[in-house]
A = this chain, B = another copy of it.
């Protein structure tokens, strides 16, 4: 059975040594997050994940959720008790506004904790995870009355939330959505329609579920310009926040899925359910994007999370499993065979995972800090710059961390040989669970288009230029530093390839947009390569400084330096293949008629 250990030491290294979180003490919440407080919080959160959530991961997969004839849904055995502990520990509202009962800590801390939760039990983590998105949407777009009514209950975790976008005929293309909203005359609307793939749509973890639902108000324009966002509670709250009547909505069926069986994925039927407009009419998509951006970072973290837990178990197996001998002579001559970790090809799989996980964690936290600055910073220019970079990196984190995270679960399963295919060993569950992250909250191809079609061009390329400048300055600053040479040289060649690709788009995609679409996924992965490489270069700098300063945990830093070198030598070369594909353009892709496939 798999185990899990939260990578607390690594997060502390990133926050303190690499990202210098103390620099942000002028931002609300950060001053409270002293190194000691952060350490205590992460250790406590880590323990909860290791001891309470992880042991429920397999039962969640095997038992799944059950829908009863009355439409109610039971979560897997143990989930309800675990959720009570989770909510009582204040984890739902860790970074929420203290005005509504939150702890007001940096969202960056929530991001770190979200990784731990998802590594331990991704299906469980989705229940409070979606609630974080609902809190964000209501905080930014809700009326004062809505905030007062819903936020305290959501922040405390007493109630949970959902997002309702997808319909049978529309996922990516929300302009096609049909769910309709008819004014009731009292300020509320009657919502009618069917939503599918609704994670945590119905369950027994909380007394109420607050659905945020996209619908079209009668007479609204067609397409995406006529979509509004509504808050539609499962149980209508009384004005004092108690539970009133049951609303006219329910779970029509549970989807049978490849994985994340512990989360209830519902077909939701709205039959004239009472809902209230959130934000302006016909501007629902903008409000939903607040949740989506939050959710996309969360999904990227899920990709990392499965890679991390799968890696940890693959390492344990590779150290224990005796099979064959090292090519350079027996390493455990007293045993019938050597542990398979002696074999270079096994190490190749493990090092790929390790080099990815640590850089991906750094990139998540780097981006989460931008998020905190963009929401809470006092300086408008600084907020804007942070928002630019967060917006640029969001599709990269979602797309690259889930694609590569999934590949890594497959590699970790491979380390187990035949046992990897057997359910009781638990590795195949990581593969099945990780797979969804490439699909939901915008399939990864959509992330790539968001990056290339929207984020690159926005504001005359302001975001990407700022990021190129930052990375380029880092390269210049360290170009004569011999100890940094193994990191800076490959980072520069990756950056050069990325800049060439960007230039190629500027020259070739304006007149012929298919050239952008044809290169979008490669571009996203190329940017991911460079972004992760930039994280490695920063980690190397921090570890070199720590070693210079006589750090106690020298072996931690030496391992960082070696792992970073691996990334530069073995992962970064992929940049040239991406560049070659991007600059080959769209012709070979568009050459066939649809009938010729």
Contacts and interface: CB of A to CB of B under 8 A. Distances in A.
Contacts of A432: 258, 428, 432
Contacts of A562: 588, 591-592, 596
B428 A258 contact: yes
Nearest to A520: B345
A114 B97 CA distance: 62
A40 interface: no
Interface string A243-269: 000000000000111110000000000
Considering the complex of A and B, which 9 residue pairs feature the smallest CB-CB distances, nearest first?
Answer: A344-B517, A573-B580, A327-B513, A258-B428, A344-B518, A566-B588, A562-B591, A256-B423, A345-B445
Contact of A422 (B255, B413, B514): B255
A514 B414 contact: no
A259 B255 CA distance: 19
Nearest to A406: B410
Given A197-B418, A256-B423, A348-B518, A513 B597 contact: no
A423 to B, nearest CB: 4
A176 interface: yes
A589 B421 contact: no
Interface string A129-140: 000000000000
Contacts of A380: none
Nearest to A570: B581
Contacts of A350: 597
A182 interface: no
Interface in A306-359: 315, 318-319, 322-324, 327-328, 336-337, 339, 341-351, 354
A318 B344 CA distance: 41
23 contacts: A166-B418, A171-B323, A197-B418, A256-B424, A257-B428, A258-B423, A258-B432, A327-B453, A327-B517, A343-B517, A344-B586, A347-B589, A347-B592, A351-B588, A351-B592, A414-B444, A418-B440, A420-B439, A421-B436, A565-B588, A569-B588, A573-B580, A576-B580
Nearest to A343: B517
How many copies of the polypeptide does the oligomer hold? Answer: 2
A581 B573 contact: yes
A88 interface: no
A590 B347 contact: yes
Interface in A420-448: 420-424, 428, 431-432, 435-436, 438-440, 443-445, 448
Contacts of A421: 257-259, 435-436, 439-440
Contacts of A404: none
A551 interface: no
B348 A423 contact: no
Contacts of A422: 255-258
B596 A348 contact: no
Given A171-B418, A418-B440, A573-B576, 13 more contacts: A176-B337, A256-B424, A258-B423, A258-B428, A345-B445, A345-B518, A345-B520, A351-B592, A413-B435, A414-B445, A421-B435, A428-B432, A576-B577
A512 B324 CA distance: 18
A143 interface: no
A242 B324 CA distance: 42
A191 B332 CA distance: 31
B351 A589 contact: yes
Contacts of A238: none
A574 interface: yes
Given A337-B176, A418-B197, A421-B436, A323 B170 contact: yes
A184 interface: no
Interface of A: 166, 169-173, 175-176, 196-197, 255-259, 315, 318-319, 322-324, 327-328, 336-337, 339, 341-351, 354, 406, 410, 413-414, 417-418, 420-424, 428, 431-432, 435-436, 438-440, 443-445, 448-449, 453, 512-514, 516-518, 520-521, 555, 559, 562-563, 565-566, 569-570, 573-574, 576-577, 580-581, 584, 586, 588-592, 594, 596-597
Nearest to A428: B258
A597 B341 contact: yes
Nearest to A512: B328
B594 A566 contact: no
Interface centre among A166, A421, A521, A594 (most CB of B within 10 A): A421
B315 A589 contact: no
A413 to B, nearest CB: 8
A573 B589 CA distance: 16
A327 B555 contact: no
A474 B513 CA distance: 38
Interface centre among A166, A173, A349, A413 (most CB of B within 10 A): A173
B423 A590 contact: no
Contacts of A347: 518, 589-590, 592
A543 B533 CA distance: 44
Contacts of A517: 327, 343-345
B577 A172 contact: no
Interface centre among A328, A344, A354, A590 (most CB of B within 10 A): A344
Given A431-B258, A435-B410, A327 B597 contact: no
B418 A439 contact: yes
A436 B173 CA distance: 35
A580 B413 CA distance: 26
A104 B590 CA distance: 44
Contacts of A318: 597
A435 to B, nearest CB: 7
